[in-house]
């Protein structure tokens, strides 16, 4: 055991190599392949040289002509109309919009719970509360999503109950098969992901700071705004990130809840790859999604840095 530094590093590397290799083969290599494919020329079921940016260019196409062309030729006036006819951009825009709404709803709904558990639950019972909050997450995602369909859907539980109570005499179609249903379903699915990081950051808030705040004559609410909330921001941003990333790439909910009528990015990638078998275009879509997610994540992470940095 009288090991030198280098032998310790060797053992460490030896141990880490199986999992690292698996991740390399099953994740890094495929992601690299996607990036390479996305700049190749695609045909049905195959890709070939030469390299081209055409796939990315095609993402901007609309039935009024490619939006990039419109930008470069300075036809700014035509862009808004063209945007509404650009299938990929429209879906990407909607996916981001839905994802941001879902994230906002999930985190806003989750914050009071995290606050409650952190500040108003006895320490011995905190683990139990967290366990209660995480249990639904561990039950089948498919079943949970499908359940929301039966609850919110056409002639579902909400509709039938409201009609049965005489509150309504038609189907409540706003809730059925729309963006609202997707938001409710996803806010439910990702609730624990939002509660836990916020809870962790709230737990780290030094309780004596709050007493100090109130001791200095601040009201409870003002203490919360000026001390607790800023201190818990890293947790909030982590929650935002954790909810946002999988939501952008969600597939099941739009399929089941949206009935395929509100396709999101993943559903488009599926169509391109599996139905049209255009690997190059599908790769370009997947890569663009990755890039967009990475850029947005980076923005959040930088915001987090700001919060952490500003508090030193």
Partner 1 sequence: MTFSPDRPTMIEFRDVHKYYGDYHALRGINGTIRAGEFFSLLGPSGCGKTTLLRTIAGFEGIDNGAVLIDGKDMAKVPANARPTNMVFQSYAIFPHMSVAENVGFGLRRDPRSRTEKAAAVEEALEMVGLKGYGARAAHALSGGQRQRVALARALILKPKVLLLDEPLSALDKKMREHMQVELIKLQRQVGITFILVTHDQEEALVMSDRIAVMFEGQIAQLADPETLYRRPNGRKVADFIGTMNFIPCQILSETGGRIEVEAKGLGRVMLDEDQVPPARGEGEPVVGLRPETLTMLYPGQEPQERAVAGRIDEVIYFGDMTYYDVFIGGTDVEVRLSMRNVPGRPVLDVGTEVQLAWSPSALVLFR
Partner 2 sequence: MNRAPGLKTYAVIYLLFLYGPILILPLFAFNDASIVAFPLAGFTTKWFAEMWADPNLWKALKNSLIIALSTATLSTVLGIFAARSSVRYKWPGKPVVMGFIMLPLVLPEMIVAMSLLIVLLGIGINLSIFTVIMGHVLMCTPFAVAILTSAFQSLDRSLEEAALDLGESAASTFRLIILPLVMPGILSSFLITFTISIDEFIVANFLGSGQPILSVYIFGQFRFPAKVPSMLALGTILVGVSVVLLAIAEYFRRRGIARTGGKDTGGFL
For residues 243 and 234, is the Cβ–Cβ distance under 8 A? no
In terms of Cβ atoms closer than 10 Å to its own Cβ (0-12, 13-18, 19+), residue 124 is exposed
Least Å from the CB of residue 163 to partner 2: 9
Q: Which does 108 bind (CB under 5 to 8 A by kind): partner 2, partner 1, none?
A: none
The contact mask relative to partner 1 for 2-41 (x = CB under 8 A, - = no) is: xxx-------------------------------------
Does residue 265 bind partner 2 (CB under 8 A)? yes
Q: Which does 233 bind (CB under 5 to 8 A by kind): partner 2, partner 1, none?
A: none
The contact mask relative to partner 2 for 21-40 (x = CB under 8 A, - = no) is: -xx--xxxxxx-xx--x---
The stretches of 204-270 forming alpha helices (DSSP H) are 207-215, 220-223, 229-248, 252-256, 265-270
- In Å, how far are 23, 42, 251, 285, 293 from 279, measured between CA atoms? 22, 6, 19, 10, 21
Nearer to partner 2, 68 or 121 (CB): 121
Tokens 């994802």: give the residue.
Answer: 99
Instruction: Name which position in 88, 177, 190, 279 contacts partner 2 (CB under 8 A).
Output: 279
- In Å, how far are 53, 195, 229, 300 from 295, measured between CA atoms? 20, 24, 26, 9
Q: Specify the DSSP class assigned to residue 84.
A: T
Does residue 174 bind partner 2 (CB under 8 A)? no
Q: Which does 4 bind (CB under 5 to 8 A by kind): partner 2, partner 1, none?
A: partner 1
Q: Which does 143 bind (CB under 5 to 8 A by kind): partner 1, partner 2, none?
A: partner 2
- Contacts with 99 (C-beta within 8 Å, 6 or more apart), sequence order: 244, 247, 248, 250
Tokens 């320490």: give the residue.
Answer: 123
Least Å from the CB of residue 138 to partner 2: 5
- The residue among 113, 129, 138, 128 whose CA lies nearest residue 235 is 113
Does residue 1 bind partner 1 (CB under 8 A)? yes
Q: Pick the stretch among 1-9, 29-37, 107-115, 225-233 that binds partner 1 (CB under 8 A).
A: 1-9
By CB under 8 A, name the binding residues for partner 1.
1-4
């Amino acid at each position: 055991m009288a090991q030198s530094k280098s032998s310790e590093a060797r053992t460490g590397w030896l141990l880490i190599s199986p999992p690292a290799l698996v991740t390399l083969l099953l994740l890094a290599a495929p992601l690299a392949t996607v990036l390479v494919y996305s700049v190749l020329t695609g045909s049905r079921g195959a890709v070939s040289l030469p390299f081209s940016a055409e796939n990315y260019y095609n993402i901007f196409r609309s039935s009024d002509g490619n939006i990039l062309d419109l930008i470069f030729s300075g036809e700014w006036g035509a862009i808004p109309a063209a945007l509404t006819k650009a299938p990929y951009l429209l879906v990407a825009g909607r996916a981001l919009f839905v994802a941001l709404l879902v994230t906002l709803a999930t985190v806003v709904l989750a914050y009071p719970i995290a606050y409650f558990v952190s500040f108003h639950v006895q320490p011995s019972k905190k683990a139990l509360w967290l366990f209660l909050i995480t249990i639904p997450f561990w039950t089948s995602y498919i079943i949970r999503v499908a359940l929301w369909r039966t609850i919110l859907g056409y002639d579902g539980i909400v509709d039938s109950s409201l009609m049965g109570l005489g509150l309504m005499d038609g189907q409540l179609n706003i809730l059925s098969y729309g963006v609202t249903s997707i938001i409710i379903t996803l806010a439910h699915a990702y609730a624990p992901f939002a509660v836990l990081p916020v809870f962790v950051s709230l737990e780290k808030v030094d309780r004596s700071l709050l007493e100090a705040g109130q001791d200095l004559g601040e009201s409870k609410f003002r203490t919360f705004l000026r001390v607790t909330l800023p201190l818990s921001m890293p947790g909030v941003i982590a929650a935002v990130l954790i909810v946002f990333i999988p939501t952008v790439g969600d597939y099941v909910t739009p399929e089941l809840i949206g009935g395929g009528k509100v396709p999101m990015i993943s559903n488009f990638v599926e169509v391109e790859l599996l139905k049209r078998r255009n690997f190059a275009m599908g790769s370009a879509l997947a890569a663009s999604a990755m890039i967009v997610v990475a850029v947005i994540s980076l923005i959040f992470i930088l915001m987090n840095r700001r919060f952490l940095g500003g508090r030193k």
